[in-house]
Amino acid sequence: MGGNAWMQTGPYQPDLVAAFRQAQEESLAADDHGFEGRSVEDLWRDEDWYEYVFTGGTASVLDFPAMIDATDDDGPFMRPLTDGEVRAWSPGGRPTQEEWDRALDTGRLAFPNRAQGNCTVLYRDGRPALIGYWGMTAD
């Protein structure tokens, strides 16, 4: 089987790891996937959660236990794009949400391999506004 591609946005924070954790908590609050009353940290200590994520997943930021450095490429983790990777599809280096959507829709920006995710800051009026997350489920 192949993974399923997904994309979502989350709130911007200068600390990308903190923004990722906030997006995870918001995703979990919107849908606990049958794991009621647990935090994200609790989920990643539960073998049943591993089974759930790696045999179907949530198609969201919840599919990843942590964010890694932009220069790493090991999965299953969320990885921010490098500046060079952003400029490959957004030459000005400050992509808007519309630019990001279009790049993903046209294939100028690729989805990562199965069980991996990427993220980048999205801008509105030249200022950071959101974080764009996209990835592929493990299944």
Phi (first) and psi of residue 43, to 5 degrees: -55, -45
Q: Is 139 within 8 Å of 1 (Cβ atoms)?
A: yes
State the pLDDT at residue 1. 53
Single pTM value for the model: 0.95
* pLDDT above 90: residue 84: yes
Q: How far apart are CA 75 and CA 136, in angstroms?
A: 11
pLDDT-derived band at 62, boundaries 50, 70, 90? very high
3 state DSSP class of 35: coil
For residue 21, which amino acid is it?
A: R
* pLDDT above 80: residue 2: no
pLDDT tens per residue, range 11-60: 999 999 999 999 999 999 999 999 999 999 999 999 999 999 999 999 99
Query: Span 93-98, mean pLDDT?
Result: 98
Name every residue whose Cβ is closer than 8 Å to that of residue 28 and which is 6 or more positions away in sequence. 38, 39, 40, 43, 62
State the pLDDT at residue 75. 76
